[in-house]
Amino acid sequence: MTSSPLFEPAALGNIPLSNRVVMAPLTRNRAGAGFVPGALTAEYYAQRASAGLIISEATQISQQGQGYQDTPGIYTQPQIDGWKKVTTAVHERGGRIVLQLWHVGRISHVDLQPNGDQPVAPSAIRAATKTFVNNAFVDVSEPRALEIDELAGIVNDFRKAASNAIEAGFDGVEVHGANGYLLEQFAKDGANVRTDAYGGSVENRARLMLDVTAAVAEEIGAERTGIRISPVSPANGISCSDPQAQYDYIVNQLDALGIAYIHVVEGATGGPRDVAPFDYGSLRRRFSKTYIANNGFDLELATSHLADGRADLIAFGRPFIANPDLVERLQSGAPLAEMNPATLYGGSAAGYTDYPRFTETSGR
């Protein structure tokens, strides 16, 4: 068995964790009618309950917040009831799970929006990226700029979604402030050219992200609230001219809110860790609670980060897809299975719940 601080117990706010392995959010596009997670979703997460913490796939707070086909929601009672089956299944296996809440902003398509409306964004700037809709990857639609009097409604949608998540049995909530979605679109000047109180300065661009996080923390408790950020990732066509100043400020303010954790994508999401210069240690020093490091970790890098105090928990993403027993495989030194990219998005059990555990493939 491998000795590593990765397999030591930890605490996240008031949530006890059996180890320091976090299952990162992974969009799988398998929600049923009404964007309700079904029985397969409950089985999928329960299979991975040996992770110290599961962060669910990104879940829209409203229909306006949806950007990809067949992603789940948390704004109707059937959706809440569907998620209750997921949280029950995970808890019965001894796991812990939080719900990631998102509004995709401009990373959407008119076919997903209420009444075929335009997607919304801080500014009417179309993202140079694609989305998954009508069973194909297509260019995102041209967005419209949000009016300032619409922003309070979006904050309230996050607040209500957080309350719904607790009703559904989640241990907490993660605000999605990363990867080029709405809150990051406001934070980064490549997508935000507003001249009102939500644009221009570092403080103004951070305002919506901080307003949302404060509302969620107020609703469900700061000890059950976290946020994901990606300071330099170019995901979904996003860019920022001053990421260090922007995120030093954001993390200072997040620390003042007393939330349980920050979940930091170090580098390009799913890509190079050194995509752009950035001092993640600055964020680590500014935040007094739990720091979750994410992006390209293997056992060696995870162990090094934990041993050096650069992180408290380590998030693993795609390895969890083909390895429901990832924690056990890492600890025992068993080889990791490779995922089938053809079954990543959409479909049914194939490539979702049918990946075997190592003991099932080895005959042990």
Q: What is the pLDDT of residues 256-276, one digit of tens each?
A: 999 999 999 999 999 889 999
Alpha carbon distances (Å) from 82 to 41, 76, 97, 99:
9, 10, 15, 13
Per-residue pLDDT, 57? 98
Query: Tokens in use for 261?
Result: 């954790």
Neighbours of 185 (CB within 10 A): 30
Report the 3 state secondary structure along 251-301.
HHHHHHHCCCEEEEECCCCCCCCCCCCCCHHHHHHHCCCEEEEECCCCHHH
> Active site includes 355?
no
Catalytic residue among 44, 45, 181, 345: 181
User: What CATH code is assigned to 5-362?
Assistant: 3.20.20.70
Which amino acid, residue 192?
Answer: N
Domain segments of the chain as ranges:
5-362
364 pLDDT exceeds 60? no
Give the pLDDT band of residue 2 (cuts 50, 70, 90). Answer: confident
Q: What is the pLDDT of residues 24-79, one digit of tens each?
A: 999 999 999 999 999 999 999 999 999 999 999 999 999 999 999 999 999 999 99
Per-residue pLDDT, 359? 81
Q: What is the mean pLDDT of the chain?
A: 96
Rounded average pLDDT over 328-340: 96
94 pLDDT exceeds 70? yes
Give the ranges where 118-242 is alpha helix by DSSP (H).
Answer: 151-167, 182-187, 202-220
